[in-house]
Structure 1
Amino acid sequence: MKTILPFLLLFLCSLTYAQTTVTGSVTDDNGQPIPGANVIIVGTTVGIVTDFDGNFTLTYNENPPFTIQASSVGFESATAEITKYKQNVSLILKEGNALDEVVISASRTPERIFESPVTVERFGLKEIKNTASSEFYDGLENLKGVDINTNSLTFKSINTRGFATFANTRFMQRVDGMDNAAPALNFPLGNLLGMVETDVQSVELLPGAASALYGANAFNGILFMTSKNPFDHAGISAYFKMGITSQEAAGDNEYKDYGIRVAHKFSNKFAAKVNFSYLQGTDWVANDTRGKDRNTTFIKNNSTRENDPDYDGVNVYGDLATTNLRNVKENPDFLSRLPNPALANLIPEVNVSRTGYHEADLTDYDAKSIKTDWGLYYRPWENDFEIQYVGKIGSGSTIYQGSNRYSIKNFFLQQHKLEIKNDNFFIRGYVTADNAGDSYDMVFTGVNVNRKWKSDEDWFGEYAGAFLQATLAGLNGDQAHAAARQAADTGRLEPGTPEFQQAFNAVTNDPDILTGSQLKDESKIYHSDANYNFSHLIDWAEIQVGGSYRKYVLNSFGSIYTDRNEEIPYSEVGLYTQIQKKFLEDDRLKLTASLRYDKSELFDAFFSPRLSVGYNLGENNNHNLRASFQTGFRNPDTQALYIGFNVGPITLIGSAFDNPERFTRTVSGTEISPTGQAILGTNSYTYNATGAYDNSFTRSSVTAFAASQNPTDLEVANPGLVKPEQVSSFEVGYRGKIDKISLDFSAYYNQYKDFITTVDVINPYYGDVQLSQTFPVNGTPTPLSVIALANEDFQAYRAYTNTSEDVSSYGASLGVSTKIFGDFDLGANYTYAKLDFDRQANSDFQTNFNTPEHKFKATFGNNDLFENFGFNVAWRWSDNYVWEASFLTADVPAYHVLDAQINLRVPSLKSSFKVGATNLLGDEYFTAAGTGYIGSQYYVSWIINNL
């Protein structure tokens, strides 16, 4: 026993001293602390994050010696040897270059931006903290090649390389691996279900085709947002912002935004976090009163309510209801009320619309966003193997502009994810579900509030009668129209009155488009994907394989899709592989090849290859040349497949093989005998939308025919059913460092095949568009379809299809960053984008390119102008361009915007304070026709312990 006891005491002492404690600090080369820096034991996953003062205490259950490494985004890593059980170290990080930052998205594996095979942009913690924008998501607009189309205060849509409306189905947004698209809409709603600012770890953006690795919707770009893991970033952090929004139309209104993050590492095995944020403000008021052309989406020159009886205002709703007064003068009930029916001949054949309500009468412009998410993280073996459950909920109110303008009220979106992963693989599955809440269509709200008060038939009858009386009294045409409108509008429901509110509530809670305007939806997406990287098993190359499965379940109760009777399910599957190999001395040459297979149950399978090469030049490998050929494809989105949505003068109809026949309705029109040889009168009958694809004229030719009355002007449309779209993308680029200057240049050419678009067509209720079926009119055989057009017995459709015409685009971008005057950061970038498509020869097709030809952006700042004080200024200029969309096509004038902020760090409070302004010069502008002008935003923020 005496012999054993010393050995036991020695063993116990070794156990005691095996726990090594390392304390220290991490600073930059100016002596400023770096909060949130990662400090790890090299070769392990054991680590910690520095606190607000850059200090850390790290405990390791092993004996020295070992090595620790400190790293932080924007800095070069530094290491220190630990040789004692209790040791204090000071780690100094030299500020690095943006090209040294590590990205994952370009190849699904960590690599420096400098060596990325394709164009990639990164927005890290440093950029988030220094952004002059009111929130980090808006700050993405300062990246090169990026447009942010502002739909409203809380809904912004990212556009890269064109071809996007607010419904940007060619762009994908992922948060911690989950697609952020709303199931009913099939595109992301900005940051509605995105991230709370204090939980953002990094943002990466690929502006080109990425289908080879990320599937169908990553067609023109993909955005990745990654959150902080509670194992690495524990603690409580919070932010509070308040200020005002200022707009000429809305005045000055309060704005507030606050959030909190709570994360705790319970042990080396278990950690958890929860986030919450709340934003509220007043949306940008849209008050464009210019009149629209009913036959197109263009502005109608000089059209106002005062000079145009058939006025259809851009942001005026209710005037969608229109008729030709000849329909009234031929009404037997109307004629019976006249002392002499011949007086009806004094009524002109002119179109007249009902008086509408301004958008501000139909929405309160309350902008709201509520986000919360939580996560449970488990590492059973205290290494990189991790099991995650993440839940996210987002709700909000905003304005959305599609084919109409929509007030999105209390929209609800949720996601739930289960993921198993380590450094070499992941397997994840998640579900996304939405609920439209109290959302409604503002255009049909105006139409049906009018009808709640007085039917269209009564209103137009009163209008015609009053017009006739005014004419007999000697008034001219304009005066007679003014008097008729005043008479027909007598007693009209006025906004703000109980009667108006009662009608408004009844309409916005009614999903029947004939009487109401409510949007209903409870759609879902089920998604799973997996990836395995064999690099730890294979030395000669890095090989990855992966796949995904997605199932859509559409359930809008017939308010958006043709799912009135049952849900619409469909699915798609994808598989991919990638091999990456480095060659030559110092691994100067890197080749990457990818191939993806995708199959939708509705379409044939597609293969998407990608090939890229990168080569480092220079003695220190400071110059990188890259070239790539990528292919992308996208399946038609849910709307292109299954929408069946009446938006007034036109009906949106998707073209899945079974969709047109699912869209049925009852119409009133002239009834023709089965032989086509007799007109039997007027009747109502059930009709489906198959004629949009197999018996339709182009809308432009019907407009031409209306002017000429020459049937030879009519052109057959009969668009084909929609099928997947493809793109071939060629890109070259250069990244390099010349002294203190970093350069990043890229140029691309995209060629599209089977470009998915919409075409406006006219489907006559009777007669064929080949004009072979005729009926004798005054002894002359007249095509039945021409008679249908004359009697207005037709339906206008906006049909989804593909164009066989050549659609191409090309562009280039150049980014430059450097330091001047010592420590001042200066960055600038220029982007050029051009559409190659003959618009004039294809006037019935919309490409929705919607991006300026020239953009220029610049930033200037210093995070340490003096101790704990910094500033940043961002300026951007956009060339004028044409915004083309189903709601409105119009010019967007050139604009320039200046954002600025100053910030103060208070280490004793573990806080930073920021005072900032967006659109500091106050020049109001808009990025899309039909939306509200964007004013200025002034704010003060307090950020606590955000590491």
Structure 2
Amino acid sequence: MRKTTSYSACMLLALFLSIAAFAQTVTITGNVKNSSNQDIVPAVSVTLKGTSSGTFTDDKGNFTLTTAQKPPFTLVFSSVGFESQEVTVNSASQAVNVSFRPSSTLGTEVVVSASRVPERILESPVSIERVGAAAVRASPAASYYDIVANLKGVDVVTSSMTFKTPTTRGFSKSGNTRFNQLVDGMDNLAPGLNFSVGAIIGLSELDVDNMELLPGASSALYGPGGMNGTLLISSKNPFKYTGLSFQIKEGMMNTDGRYRDISAFHNWTARWAENINNRFAYKITADFIQAKDWVAADKRNYAGRPTGRGQIVPGTRESDPNYDGINVYGDETTADIRAVFRGIAAQAPFLAPYINSISADPINVSRTGYDEKDIIDPSTLNFKLGGAVHYKFTDKLEGVIAGNWGTGNSVYTGNDRYSFKDFKMGQYKLELNHRNWFLRTYTTQENAGQSFAAVTATRLTNEAWKSSTDPVNGWYSQYGQAYLASKMAGLSDAQAHSQARSVADVGRPAAGSDEFKELFNRVRSVPLSQGGALFIEQSDMYQTEGQYNLSDITGKVADVLVGANYKVFNLDSKGTLFVDTAGTIKIREYGAYVQASRRLFNDVLKLTFSGRYDKNENFEGRFTPRATAVIKVAENNNVRVSYQTAYRFPSTQAQFINLFIGGGTQLIGGDKSFQTYYNFTKNKPYDFNVDGTPGGTHNFKEYKPESVSSYEVGYKGLFGNKLLFDVYGYYGKYTNFLARTIIGQPASEGAAPNPLTDRRFSVPYNVDQKVNVYGFGISIDYRLPANFVIGGNLSSDVLDNADDLKNSGFIANFNTPKYRTNLSLSNNSLGKKKLLGMSIVYKWQDAFFYEEDFGNGGIPAIHTLDAQVSYKIVKYKSVVKLGANNLLNQYYYNGIGNSFVGGLYYVSFGYNIF
């Protein structure tokens, strides 16, 4: 028995030794440096040729690769901005030190978003713009999000420092619902507030790997909302980018004290990532911004009544009794003081003849307002945390648990000027990524915190101090009596109004006083549903989606992708934003897509066909096709032709919003339930004519999704690795264009319309008229001697039948300059040791007319100059940068009611960022 046991033990030992010998591994180490300046090169891909196994260099340029394959074998080194290199390893003891050769990046970038599969940007079937991590580092922009504004064909609406809304091809406004923004595959949309929140949450600057922009229609692959474009922002993989990185950015803004006293700008960001045995990796990121925000200070007079189709008119508070300053709040409350006169005439009949002789026309008077700087706390605060855990189950399958969370204060312009105070939003996902497929599920959790409507809060503050409607001690009663007394005393009309306002405003709380703060804080803390200005917004969204690349199976016929998604919105505003007092509103959507592509004639022609079907439970399903062709006319020269469609279901707010926006107007959704809720079926509402007079009865038609068909031709070519040229032209046709109109409702059934006193509603509807747009874009990038790169782009977007639409009373909200251009000059390796860097960007856009719920008016032409110089401290892996946005401090605004943006000057120190 013992002998048998001994034999068995020997056999097991021999087996284990054999397995160990068979599974013996080889570990290769090495280092990668830039051949031109001997800088370390992190995040270089190191793969074993002919396999998918590999690793990346760390923050010191070092790498370690373990393999069961015995030498000799070949390692492949690759990274954006460098020539791919192969090194043969003959021995396990061989130290692999690579002198990595930089290359021109013009046209060599690989993009994913255009077809959902990797391809060279030169071969993209549709127009696309890309910004890599190196461009983010070299940009003079204080925020990576601002770089998007310099891309061809892009418009950005700046509500405030941290709330910016990009779009392409027209119909631009704050919180644009026609433009998708995806961060690591997660829609950046705030489920209840209804718009992408941009940089308020998301990635820190040090964690941005690249940004890809698809201008125009992009729903076929990315779903509802991509009418005017899709922006995809991708983070750095912790397997590839490791170590500690941090950046401290300090600056100044409001430097001339024109609108606000000079103030400091602070931006601190850090990232820590670690790769453990190339199997497990994690990262943690943090970003903090603190500053005194830009202020909205447009004092122009806005005539918004009686129909809400306002315009800029002459007048100031001193010259116009009914003055309504665009960024003066509280003066939206207005009344005809002849009603006061009639009350006086009834009590003193002997004055009636004189009173009746004063005016046959309305004498509209607005209450005295407060400037935005007196209302909204300027303390911009933005704090973001992010993190991810990655685990490689196999060389082909990677799992990810990730999350981004942000909180802070910001300002947004919609139908009101909204102050986001203690706003919070988080996005969390689980993801499996395979070479051929992915499966992702994520949620977005939103909390509006103490956010409030600034205009509404100020109007209510006025009312809390002194009622407008009290017949004895009310503000208008006192104003009307003082005005009448002044007129009887022989004063001129202007003098009488000035005297009357002085009397009615006696004791009015001064901005910033304890009394004012007490009144204002009281009303802004009361929910909108209870007559205050506070949002209680805690909506969320859940989405699951997946994609499979069938090309390994179908490759002989075509490369095929299939994908699907399921989404649920839970709207929860406690009646402050939605008609949800009875409970949470759920909206469900699902969709699926397929794409097939084939190369023909020895890769001279590539054809791609895509189709997507989506269904929202409140609307009929929609199918959106896309067809593209890429024709290779010469090496690195391609012509692209595409037909694309896009659509969007009415947004969550467009369906269920129920918000009083002041001036007698209720903003409501398009769901049929509102017709019963507001008794429209019996007390019929009426439309307004263009001149503001009552029109015919408003007919509620079926509310439908909006769609666009876009035709585009483009060409992209690379000449001698020095000149990159790109040009496109497009034409788009909208169907069932989604818009809003103002309707009135008589005081009671059968009553005659009275636009001055009737309740008004802003209702969504589909436009019957044709809405067509067209435009072009052209860009040139040229690599000069001594590492200089010069670039420029010009683009244009035009609303085809703008005059016809305006004459019909339709407000298109196109909000786009006809022409815009960007010019740039950069060099990231100046000097004998190539340690200096610089970049300068000039941006110009044409003047245009802007239309939005908050106000309509002209936007002057904009000229801005951004610049930076930098110096590398190689020994400490650090970069010092001195930069400026809007270097010449030319204040501008790009939307009515938005902040006036001045110069921002900063110096930064970054560690381990190159």
Distance 1:907 1:61, change over 3 A: farther
- After TM superposition, the structure 1 = structure 2 runs for residues 230-309 of structure 1, keeping only pairs within 5 Å, are 230-246=238-254, 248-295=258-305, 296-309=308-321
Query: Would you say the 8 A contact 1:234–1:263 is kept in 2?
Result: yes
**Number of the residue aligned with 1:493:** 509
- Aligned equivalents of 1:660 and 1:366: distance in 2? 42
Higher deviation after alignment, 302-311 or 20-29: 20-29
1:74 Cα shift?
Answer: 2.7
**Number of the residue aligned with 1:441:** 453
Query: Would you say the 8 A contact 2:805–2:811 is kept in 1?
Result: no
How far does the alpha carbon of each residue in 1:549-588 deviate from its partner, in whole angstroms, 9 at most, with x for none?
A: 1111111111111112222111111111000111112x22
Q: Counterpart of 1:656 in structure 2: which amino acid?
A: D
SS at match of 2:302: coil
**Number of the residue aligned with 1:368:** 381
Distance 1:44 1:368, change over 3 A: farther
Q: Counterpart of 1:910 in structure 2: which amino acid?
A: K
**Number of the residue aligned with 2:794:** 830
- Aligned equivalents of 2:69 and 2:80: distance in 1? 28
Q: Does 1:86 align with 2:86?
A: no
Query: Would you say the 8 A contact 2:590–2:616 is kept in 1?
Result: yes
How far does the alpha carbon of each residue in 1:732-788 deviate from its partner, in whole angstroms, 9 at most, with x for none?
A: 111111222111111111011111111122222345xxxxx6xxxxxxxxxx42xx3
Q: Counterpart of 2:738 in structure 1: which amino acid?
A: I
**Number of the residue aligned with 1:459:** 475
**Number of the residue aligned with 1:756:** 738
- Aligned equivalents of 2:72 and 2:163: distance in 1? 53
Query: Would you say the 8 A contact 1:47–1:232 is kept in 2?
Result: no
- Aligned equivalents of 2:593 and 2:861: distance in 1? 42
Corresponding residue to 2:656 among 629, 637, 642? 642
Query: Would you say the 8 A contact 1:902–1:915 is kept in 2?
Result: yes
Q: Does 1:661 align with 2:676?
A: yes
Distance 1:657 1:839, change over 3 A: farther
Structure 1 unmatched runs, 5+:
663-686, 706-713, 768-772, 774-783
- Aligned equivalents of 1:255 and 1:297: distance in 2? 38
1:55 Cα shift?
Answer: 4.3
Q: Does 1:816 align with 2:780?
A: yes
Q: Does 1:378 align with 2:386?
A: no
Corresponding residue to 1:64 among 71, 74, 95? 71
Distance 1:395 1:389, change over 3 A: same
SS at match of 2:107: helix
Query: Would you say the 8 A contact 1:393–1:415 is kept in 2?
Result: yes
**Number of the residue aligned with 2:666:** 651
Higher deviation after alignment, 116-125 or 50-59: 50-59
Distance 1:660 1:191, change over 3 A: farther
SS at match of 2:127: coil
SS at match of 1:191: helix
1:342 Cα shift?
Answer: 6.3
SS at match of 2:631: strand
1:61 Cα shift?
Answer: 4.3
Corresponding residue to 2:424 among 412, 416, 421? 412
Q: Counterpart of 1:413 in structure 2: which amino acid?
A: M
Query: Would you say the 8 A contact 1:325–1:347 is kept in 2?
Result: no
**Number of the residue aligned with 1:518:** 534
**Number of the residue aligned with 1:103:** 111
Distance 1:54 1:235, change over 3 A: closer
Corresponding residue to 2:327 among 301, 315, 334? 315
1:717 Cα shift?
Answer: 3.8
Query: Would you say the 8 A contact 1:17–1:63 is kept in 2?
Result: no
Q: Counterpart of 1:808 in structure 2: which amino acid?
A: N
SS at match of 1:114: helix
- Aligned equivalents of 1:699 and 1:274: distance in 2? 57
1:148 Cα shift?
Answer: 1.7
**Number of the residue aligned with 1:698:** 688
- Aligned equivalents of 1:455 and 1:594: distance in 2? 61
- After TM superposition, the structure 1 = structure 2 runs for residues 875-914 of structure 1, keeping only pairs within 5 Å, are 875-914=842-881
- After TM superposition, the structure 1 = structure 2 runs for residues 507-906 of structure 1, keeping only pairs within 5 Å, are 507-512=523-528, 515-540=531-556, 541-585=558-602, 587-618=603-634, 621-649=635-663, 650-662=665-677, 687-688=678-679, 695-698=685-688, 700-701=690-691, 703-704=692-693, 714-739=695-720, 740-766=722-748, 784-785=751-752, 788-789=753-754, 792-843=756-807, 844-866=809-831, 867=833, 868-906=835-873
SS at match of 1:463: helix
Structure 2 unmatched runs, 5+:
1-6
- Aligned equivalents of 1:350 and 1:932: distance in 2? 32
**Number of the residue aligned with 1:502:** 518
1:818 Cα shift?
Answer: 1.3
Q: Counterpart of 2:912 in structure 1: which amino acid?
A: N
Query: Would you say the 8 A contact 1:405–1:441 is kept in 2?
Result: yes
**Number of the residue aligned with 1:778:** none
1:282 Cα shift?
Answer: 1.1
- Aligned equivalents of 1:830 and 1:33: distance in 2? 37
Q: Counterpart of 2:44 in structure 1: which amino acid?
A: A
**Number of the residue aligned with 1:123:** 131
TM-score computed with the length of structure 2 as normaliser: 0.93
SS at match of 1:503: helix
Query: Would you say the 8 A contact 1:172–1:187 is kept in 2?
Result: no
1:351 Cα shift?
Answer: 0.9
SS at match of 1:455: coil
Query: Would you say the 8 A contact 1:545–1:576 is kept in 2?
Result: yes
Q: Counterpart of 1:73 in structure 2: which amino acid?
A: V
How far does the alpha carbon of each residue in 1:469-512 deviate from its partner, in whole angstroms, 9 at most, with x for none?
A: 21222212111111111001101111222211111111110113
- Aligned equivalents of 2:627 and 2:440: distance in 1? 27
**Number of the residue aligned with 2:365:** 352
How far does the alpha carbon of each residue in 1:804-836 deviate from its partner, in whole angstroms, 9 at most, with x for none?
A: 111111111111111113311111111111111
Query: Would you say the 8 A contact 2:59–2:243 is kept in 1?
Result: no
- Aligned equivalents of 1:915 and 1:121: distance in 2? 27
- Aligned equivalents of 2:294 and 2:181: distance in 1? 25
Q: Does 1:47 align with 2:11?
A: no
Query: Would you say the 8 A contact 1:70–1:91 is kept in 2?
Result: no
Higher deviation after alignment, 19-28 or 124-133: 19-28
How many residue pairs are counted as aligned between the two chains? Answer: 889
Query: Would you say the 8 A contact 1:758–1:798 is kept in 2?
Result: yes
Identity %: 36
Q: Does 1:216 align with 2:198?
A: no
Corresponding residue to 2:169 among 161, 164, 168? 161
Q: Counterpart of 1:371 in structure 2: which amino acid?
A: K
SS at match of 1:639: helix
1:335 Cα shift?
Answer: 4.7
SS at match of 1:636: coil
- Aligned equivalents of 1:137 and 1:521: distance in 2? 26
Please give the root-mean-square deviation of Cα atoms over the aligned residues, in Å: 2.4
- Aligned equivalents of 2:680 and 2:517: distance in 1? 35
Query: Would you say the 8 A contact 1:80–1:89 is kept in 2?
Result: no
Distance 1:338 1:128, change over 3 A: farther
